Amino acid sequence: MNLQEQKRWVRKKAAQKLNQYSDEWIQKESRKIQDHVLESEGYRRADTIFCYVSFAKEVNVIPIIEDALRTGKRVGVPLCIGKGMMEVREIRSMDELQPGAYGILEPKKGTRKVDKHEIQYAVIPCVTCDKLGNRMGHGAGYYDRYLSDADFIKTILCFEEIMVQEIPTDLYDVRMDYVISQNGAIKVV
């Protein structure tokens, strides 16, 4: 099995596992993960954060975004700008989001671009990950391209139940600094 086949297989297995859990379970377990993020030193110290907007059965990050807005942090969320390409746009309220590519909420036109060097802390999604900070996205490469030269703290959120022993990786896969599940945060060395 080549690397791309391995990745497809891991994505498929993770999705099958996740589909076994109810929306109520997703919300309950997401709250535990949210608490770990909100209590983390990296999040608390950051003036500018970058956070994905959760979709379907991903870890719900809306309360993290709302907390950041309420506490005066500058909040950037992803905007797809082309095939495999994204940039980060600032939102000042949840009202500045609208359905975009794949039905995922993204910033409305007219929102200001956030330069990568301004970001101090990022909350990154995954289909699954391992405890070494390797993530498996949906395979389009948006995040790996964006994060390839990032120097801010990169935190991945994942339900413990869908984590795998080892993610197959290649040269372009960007390792995260922290993995946060319901059981707490793991600093990747």
What is d(CA 142, CA 3) in angstroms, rounded to the nearest whole number?
18
Average pLDDT, the chain: 94
pLDDT at 189: 67
Q: Evaluate if residue 102 carries a pLDDT over 80.
A: no
User: What is the phi/psi pair of residue 18, to 5°?
Assistant: -65, -35
Partners of 15 in beta bridges = none
**Virtual torsion, Cα 160, 164, 170, 171, nearest 10 deg:** 30
What is d(CA 169, CA 139) in angstroms, rounded to the nearest whole number?
12
pLDDT tens-digit readout, 12-49? 999 999 999 999 999 999 999 999 999 999 999 999 99
pLDDT tens-digit readout, 107-143? 998 999 999 999 999 999 999 999 999 999 988 889 9
* Confidence grade of residue 83 (pLDDT, cut at 50, 70, 90): confident
Kindly state the percentage of the chain with pLDDT values over 90: 86
